[in-house]
Amino acid sequence: MTSPHLTHRHRKLADLSKKQGLDALAINPGPSLPYLTGLHFHMSERPVVVFFSADHPPIIVLPELEMLKMKNLPYEIEAFPYGEDPASWGQVFQEAMRAGGLEQSRIGIEPLALRVLELGFLEAAAPEAQFVSGEAAVVELRMRKDQGEVAHMRKAAQIAQAALHATLPMVKPGVTERQIASELALQLLRHGSQSPIAFAPIVSSGPNSANPHAFPSDRELVPGDLLVIDWGASVEGYLSDITRTFAIGEVAPEFELIAEIVEKANAAGRAAVKPGVPAGQVDDAARKVITEAGYGQYFTHRTGHGLGLEGHEEPYIRSGSQLPLEVGMSFTIEPGIYLPGRGGVRIEDDVVVAADGLESLTDLPRRLQVIEG
C-alpha cells in the first residue's frame, strides 16, 4: 500500500476522531491495524498497540522481535520496542504515551478488539487518561470501500464461486456435511483464497438446515434434503460471504415454495439498494416478500451485514436502521426461511452500493438447484 494511501487514512482518522471528541485512538491487532498501517501482527500474549493522533506521527509499542517490520515503511512512525521480561513492558507503554503527550488525553479504543491485557497496560501507563469507545470513528473510516478494496472483494467472490463449482461433483446422498465442508475449504485454498479463509464453511442438511449458523456434522445427505452451504474466501484480508441452497433429489412441495419465496425476497432486497436509501428499507423490502407469503415468523435474522475486512461489520441491514446507504458501502443480502425440525433456505449475495444502484459481486444461480443422487 502506498504512502499517500495510508497517510490519507491517518489524516481522515484524525479528523473523525476530533469530531468524536477524541484526542487519539489506540488500535491493537485486528482488521483496523493493517488497514491503517499495512502492518500485520498476530494477537498473542505480547501486546501490540498503535496510537494515532493529529499532533504526532503514529506511535507503536511492540515486541523487539517484530522490529524488522518497521523497516522501509512508507510513512513516519515512532517505535517503542520491549524485550521478553513482562515486568519491563509497563515502562515502555508509559514512555510511548508520554512521547505522544497522551497522559491526560481522551483516547478511543475498539470495544470489540481491545483486550483486558492491553487496556491494563494503557490504564497503568496513563492513569489520568480516559479510555472510551472510538468505534464510531473507525466505522466511519472503513465503511465506504474504495476501488482497490472492492476489487479484492470481487476477486474473493470469484474464488469462492469457483471453489463451490469444484466441490459440487462430490455432493450426493451418503456424503456427510463435514466431508463437504472440508472439501470446500480445500478448494477455496486451491482456487486462490488466502489463509485463513473467510470462515469455516457452514454445511447443513435436512433438519439441520433450519439452523442459520449450524456446524457441519457427520449427518449423511439423504434424498429429499435441503442443503444450505455458506462459505467465503479471503483476498488481501477482504472477504466474501455467500450462501446457496440445494435440493438433494426431489424435495417436498413446501420446500420448493419457500425456496421460490426466498429467491424473490433476495431480488427485492437487491432492487431496494440505492444511494440515500436507509439500510432498514432494504430489510423491509426483503422481509415484506416473506411476510406476505405467510412465512414472516420463520425469517429470524436481519437481511444482511456489512462485509469487508471483517465478516460482520457496519452497515447492518436491519429493520429500523436509518443509516443512509452511500456509494462504496458493501454488505450481504441474505433473506431466509427456516422451518424448525424440517429444513431451511437462505440465499446470500455480496453487494456494493454504486451510483446507479448496486453491483452484485456474486452471480451464482439463485434458484433452488437440484442435485440428483
Domains of the chain: 3-142 (3.40.350.10), 147-371 (3.90.230.10)
Confidence of residue 68 (pLDDT cuts 50, 70, 90): very high
pLDDT of 229 > 80? The answer is: yes
pLDDT tens digits, one per residue of 289-306: 999 999 999 999 999 999
Burial (CB < 10 A; 0-12, 13-18, 19+), residue 240, is buried
Coil, helix or strand at residue 52: strand
Helix axes 253-271, 279-292, angle to 10 degrees: 150
Top pLDDT among 286 and 5 is at 286
Report pLDDT for 1.
Answer: 55
Over residues 317-322, the mean pLDDT reads: 98
Over residues 328-342, the mean pLDDT reads: 98
Q: How far apart are CA 10 and CA 299, in angstroms?
A: 41
Report pLDDT for 330.
Answer: 98
Q: How far apart are CA 23 and CA 86, in angstroms?
A: 28
pLDDT of 3 > 70? The answer is: no
Over residues 112-116, the mean pLDDT reads: 95
Chain-centre distance for alpha carbon 54? 28
State how far the alpha carbon of 180 is from the alpha carbons of 173, 282, 308, in Å. 11, 32, 26
Q: How far apart are CA 233 and CA 272, in angstroms?
A: 26
- Residue 11, C-beta contacts closer than 8 angstroms, at least 6 positions apart: none
